[in-house]
Every structure is written in C-alpha cells, then in structure tokens.
Chain A
Amino acid sequence: MLLPKFDYQAPKSLREACAMLEEFGAKAKLLAGGTDLLVNLKKKLLAPQQVVSLNKIKGLNEIIPKKGKGLSIGPLVTATVLAESGLVQEQLTVLAQGAGRVGSPLIRNRATLGGNIVTARPASDLAPPLMVLGAQLILKNKDGEREVEVEKFFKGPGKTSIKSKEILSQIYIPSCEGPCGSAYLKMGARKALEISLVNVAAFLELGPEGSIRQARIALGAVGPTPLRARSAEKILKGEKPQGKGDSLFLEAAQAAARDGRPIDDHRGSADYRRALIEILTARTLMSAYQQLMKTA
C-alpha cells in the first residue's frame, strides 16, 4: 500500500508549527507517532497537501509534576512511556493501564497521547482514563492558547472541538485531594491489536469522613464518543462502601450498563456490550477501591 503524495514540513518550534497551520489550515495534517495518520493516508481516507511533523519540536514529550497540583504531560509522550512510567503507574494508574492496551508493543513505541486524543476514536484506550482523571487539554494557536475539559472535547467518531489551526500542546491532570484509586479494563476478541468491544475506566476518591467524595466512570466503544456513566456515579457519590464494596459497586455497574449507548456491529451485539459494561464497571470499581484502601 503506497502513501499518497504530500509536502512535508518539520517545524522546530510550536510557534513555527502554529504559523504553518495558520497558513495551511485544513490542508495540513499534523504528524505525531504516525500510527493513525499513515494508516489513514494509505487507506485513502485522508489526503492532506501538507504533513506537518511535530517531532522536531523539543519539550513535547515530557511528564512534569506540578508541585503537588498534578502532572503536565506533553502530547508526544508515547503509550509505552505512559505504561512504563513509575510516576504514571502510581499516580495515574488508570492511564498507565489504558496506555498498556493500545494496539501492540510495536504500536505503543510510536503512538502518542496527543495523537490518540485528537484522532478521537470511540474505542480509544486513553480517552476514558483521561476523562475519569479530569484532564484538561491545552490547545495552542498562533495567537495564544485555550483550555478545554477532556470530556467537552469529543464530539463524535473522529471529531473533536480542535480547530484546524490549533495544536494540542499539553495535557494537564490534577492530583487527588484524598485517598484515590483508579483502574481500566478493555474487553476485546484478541489480547492485542484489537479495538475494544467495551472498555471502562473508573476513578474513586474518598472524602475525610470515609465516604466516596468523587466517583467517575467512563465507558468506551459504546457510544459515538467515550461517555461518562452519570447515573452510576450518582449511586456512588456520598456512599461508604461496606467491606470490599461489592454490593454497592454491583448496583452502580447495573446503572452503568443503562448509561451506555452500544450498537450492534460486527464485533458484537448491543446486548452483549451492555452485559460487558456491567461486568467491567463492577471490576474496575472494585480494583480502584482496593487501590484506594491501600493508601487510605
């Protein structure tokens, strides 16, 4: 399969890249890891005149702790780095777990956090973790930057609120205030190189009195975008789980199954997906709670 013809640019700074996007607009596509872009070019789904590589710009692939206030992650950090970083495994467990399920080990060595977010597939492994962690996205253009909450960013399959002249320049994740835990599970027909049938990310944070202060559950591959299981979260907020929390989490999981909006497709039926939402939500909640209790 051949790549189509295009012109190639390799700006050395974000400012230069923004200036290029200002000039080229929608005629340009940004290149990060290339594991989505090149596939789409080869399959003739995209035909940009300009491919603007971000890979000569320094400083976009760092994970920087922000003095007890959270982490700032560059858009070019690869899935492998996220999956293997001790810092991410410890503080943003759900993101490390999601990153470890992207594609294959070979893909993970190139695929980037920023690229995955902007590509915005409904079954993204990184979007649900970012949603439950309350991530903020910084979008930069030649005139300045703006901040968008990750859940307001996804509009539909492959569609986000990014403008053609903007670059996702930073992903900021706030730190927890109380004991917290998180987990991600992906269900697919294969163990690797698989697009999820269903994926679930869960995040729990305890308040000072020992009840759930914050509960966030995000479901992937069961809607046009990853979505929050709001009725499940309502059941959890303010509650004090008994023992391992089984009965409470099961009740929330049943609500999450109703929050999902799966369709029938060649990977599986909507009914099967609903059943999976319930199982994966219960498991991720229990796992998140277990992690939380270790730090409490």
Chain B
Amino acid sequence: MKKMTISLIVNGQEYDLVIPVNRTLTQVLRENLRLTGTKQGCAVGDCGSCTVLLNGLPVNSCLILAVEADGQEITTIEGLADGEKLHPLQQAFVDIGAIQCGFCSPGMLLTSKALLDKNPAPTEREIREAISGNLCRCTGYQKIVEAIASAKADG
C-alpha cells in the first residue's frame, strides 16, 4: 500500500491520520501534528535532535516510518511539562544554564528523562554515555550533565 490509516498516541492523546507510507515519524509529528518541538537536524540518526520516546525508549524519530509507529505511545518534548509546571529536568536545565540555542534541548531532555526513569541515580559516566547520541554544538555538555545530575538528586 502507498497510504495508510494509522493511530498515534502522542503525549497521551490519540491521533488518527491517513499518511503516505514513506513519511518519517519526525515529519508526521512536525508537519501533520504541528508538534515542532521535535527537531530535524541530520535526518540520518547521527545527531539526536529528533529524539522522541517510543514506548518509553528514546529513539531517532527520523529513522522510523510513521506507519511503523501505528498504535504506539510516543512522548515528545511537548509532553514533558505538566501544563504550566515544568518537569524537574526542564527546571534543572533552566536553573543550571544547560540551554543555549535550544536545538538539542528537546532531545537531551527526553533522553535524560528516559535515563532517570530507568536508572534514578546514574553516575556522571552513565549520564554522559546515555546522552552520547544527542549532539550539542553550543554548551560543551558540561552544564547539561550537571543539570541531569541535579535533577536526579532532587527529582
């Protein structure tokens, strides 16, 4: 088939869509659902700016066909905050200064949320390893690592 009807559960809400089979999850989230917090950087899975959580696991959405995500639960950056209240990780990133241009931040936040969900007390080494698929051209990673470490301590 060339077009499919799929159902995506994004940030707890179900969306029914008819889309061409050659659309990536990044494209559908950004262009069909207008959730532009997920970024497209390299489009080939090397930068991590397209990171979303798929059934809780951080993945490069640019390498996933949207039709393959049919019926799956997706969390984008828009789903992290609780209304107006920032997620502890988001607050930590703001407080510690882990955001410069912000392009990597959605991916960094989702990857680190998945890390803390799985490993609530990671070492610095574990944090750096967990974010090794998310590139940042601005910060040099130090503040990002400190922010994740501080969120783990409090959150």
Spot the interface stretch: B42-50, B89-97, B98-106, B147-155: B42-50
Nearest Cβ distance between residue A154 and chain B, in whole angstroms?
Answer: 23
Q: Which bucket holds chain A's interface residue count? A: 20 to 34
Residue of A nearest to B130 (CB): A105
Asked whether B132 is an interface residue with its Cβ less than 8 Å from the other chain, the reply is yes
Asked whether A5 is an interface residue with its Cβ less than 8 Å from the other chain, the reply is yes
Spot the interface stretch: A18-26, A34-42, A197-205, A282-290: A34-42
Nearest Cβ distance between residue B71 and chain A, in whole angstroms?
Answer: 10
Bound together, the chains give a CA A134 to CA B67 distance in angstroms of 37
Bound together, the chains give a CA A288 to CA B29 distance in angstroms of 46
8 A Cβ contacts from B76-96 to A:
none
Q: Which of B24, B43, B63 has the most CB of A within 10 A?
A: B63
Within 8 Å by CB of B132, from A39, A43, A104, lies: A104
Q: Residue-by-residue, is B104-127 near A (CB-CB < 8 Å gives 1, otherwise 0)?
A: 000000010000000000000000
Contact in complex: B132, A53 (CB < 8 Å) = no
Bound together, the chains give a CA A266 to CA B114 distance in angstroms of 35
Residues of A near B111 (CB, < 8 A) are: 105-106
Given A39-B63, A105-B58, A106-B58: A34 touches B1 (CB 8 Å cut-off): no
Within 8 Å by CB of B59, from A7, A8, A109, A193, lies: A109
Bound together, the chains give a CA A27 to CA B137 distance in angstroms of 40
Asked whether B35 is an interface residue with its Cβ less than 8 Å from the other chain, the reply is no
Interface majority SS on A: helix, strand, loop or mixed? loop
Residues of B near A42 (CB, < 8 A) are: 43-44
Within 8 Å by CB of A193, from B20, B22, B46, lies: B46
Q: Which of A8, A43, A191 has the most CB of B within 10 A?
A: A8
Residues of B near A110 (CB, < 8 A) are: 59-60, 63-64
8 A Cβ contacts from A2-34 to B:
2-10, 31, 34
Contact in complex: B51, A39 (CB < 8 Å) = no
Given A42-B43, A193-B133: A35 touches B63 (CB 8 Å cut-off): yes
Contact in complex: A109, B58 (CB < 8 Å) = yes
Given A35-B63, A39-B63: A103 touches B133 (CB 8 Å cut-off): yes
Within 8 Å by CB of A106, from B1, B129, B133, lies: B133
Contact in complex: A6, B133 (CB < 8 Å) = no
Residues of B near A106 (CB, < 8 A) are: 45, 48, 51, 58-60, 111, 133-134
User: Which residues of B does A touch, CB under 8 Å?
Assistant: 1-2, 4, 20-24, 43-46, 48, 51, 54, 57-60, 62-65, 67-68, 111, 129-130, 132-134
